[in-house]
Amino acid sequence: MTNHEVDPTRRLVLGGLSTGVAAAAFSGTANAQQSAATPAAEPLQDPTTKYPQPPFPRQSQEWPGLTSRMDPVPDHGEETYRGSGRLTGRKALITGGDSGIGRAAAIAYAREGADVAIGYLEPEEPDAQEVLELIRAEGRKAVALPGDIRDEAFCKQIVADAVEQLGGLDILVNNAARQQSVASLADLTTEQLDNTLKTNVYAMFWITQAALPHLQPGSTIINTTSVVAYDPPENLLDYSATKAAIENFTKGLAKQVATKGIRVNGVAPGPFWTPLQPSGGQPIDALAQFGSDTPLGRPGQPAELASIYVLLASPGSSYSTGQIFGATGGSGGP
């Protein structure tokens, strides 16, 4: 063999070695790129200590209450919720979207790619403006719809305005609620009963009735009921009755509109830390220990419900309708 000739066996070995080195180098680069692109796993968190636990400072507010005046201030997912495009292009109307559970849903929907209209009372404008800014920060359209849903005409108008300004509607969240603690039935006035029924039940009927003609197959309706529909406390007779009505309405309407391809589900929260509580929803003396009687030993934070509202609005729950999804900290539930 001359000096210019190469042993074929050696050529194969060297060629294979070169290919292997190149492949290993490419694989290493690809793995490094993948590792850089993959976020680190979140550490496990103990649900009993994840959020503030009772006792809470003594506090009260005038109805309907503001988030900024609560101590501690609730978490709605402002800093923690991360979207993944599950609601891209969707158009949602959320009543009571300024604070509490509605606020958490509004933030999550925007981060999942939806345009969002929120209904709220005029005294809640400071809270509403914060939510609208958060929605717009995600590059989504935010629509403010202040007004009183105890009025039938406004309920029809809020839907019409949402459809016009969003360019359609495919997610409706009936979430706004009135809750006032009364120790005895003898002290429950007709005025309070009327206000609770109109806010929690009548408005749901009126708004849903107005929205249905605009909903296409694949659209969803989500109603906020409560654990008190199953386990009513002695101081919330009118509120508990309305939440039971919402649960019943949800299951019945789901059957009625199933053939239209519209899904209807409900969420039944347990004790959640929202402005409902310090603005008359709980006795002032009891508020310090609010949520302490649950197995998890604390109230829920609105951020802990956001993913449920996203799931029910997304195609991932396409076989769920007429269902009630609980989040009660371990107490009762559907």
Over residues 245-263, the pLDDT tens digits come to: 999 999 999 999 999 999 9
Asked if residue 29 has pLDDT above 90, the reply is: no
At 39, the pLDDT band (50, 70, 90 cuts) reads low
Asked if residue 7 has pLDDT above 70, the reply is: no
Asked if residue 38 has pLDDT above 70, the reply is: no
Which positions are annotated as active-site residues?
Answer: 239
Average pLDDT, the chain: 91
Range scoring the smallest mean pLDDT among 24-33, 61-70, 209-218, 242-251: 24-33
Identify whether 55 is preceded by a cis peptide bond (ω within 30 of 0): yes
- Whether 4 is covered by a domain: the verdict is no
Domain extent, residue 121, equals 80-327
In CATH, what number is assigned to the domain containing residue 217?
A: 3.40.50.720
- Whether 232 is covered by a domain: the verdict is yes
Q: What is the pLDDT of residue 197?
A: 98
- Whether 334 is covered by a domain: the verdict is no
pTM assigned to the model: 0.88
Rounded distance between C-alpha atoms, residue 194 and residue 180, angstroms: 12
- Whether 56 is covered by a domain: the verdict is no
At 137, the pLDDT band (50, 70, 90 cuts) reads very high
Number of domains in the chain: 1
Tell me: the pLDDT tens digits for 155-166? 999 999 999 999
- Whether 253 is covered by a domain: the verdict is yes
Asked if residue 6 has pLDDT above 60, the reply is: no
Q: What is the pLDDT of residue 42?
A: 82
Virtual CA dihedral for 17, 19, 22, 23, nearest 10 degrees? Answer: -110
- Whether 70 is covered by a domain: the verdict is no
- Whether 53 is covered by a domain: the verdict is no
- Whether 98 is covered by a domain: the verdict is yes
Asked if residue 26 has pLDDT above 90, the reply is: no
Which tokens belong to 181? Answer: 């603690």
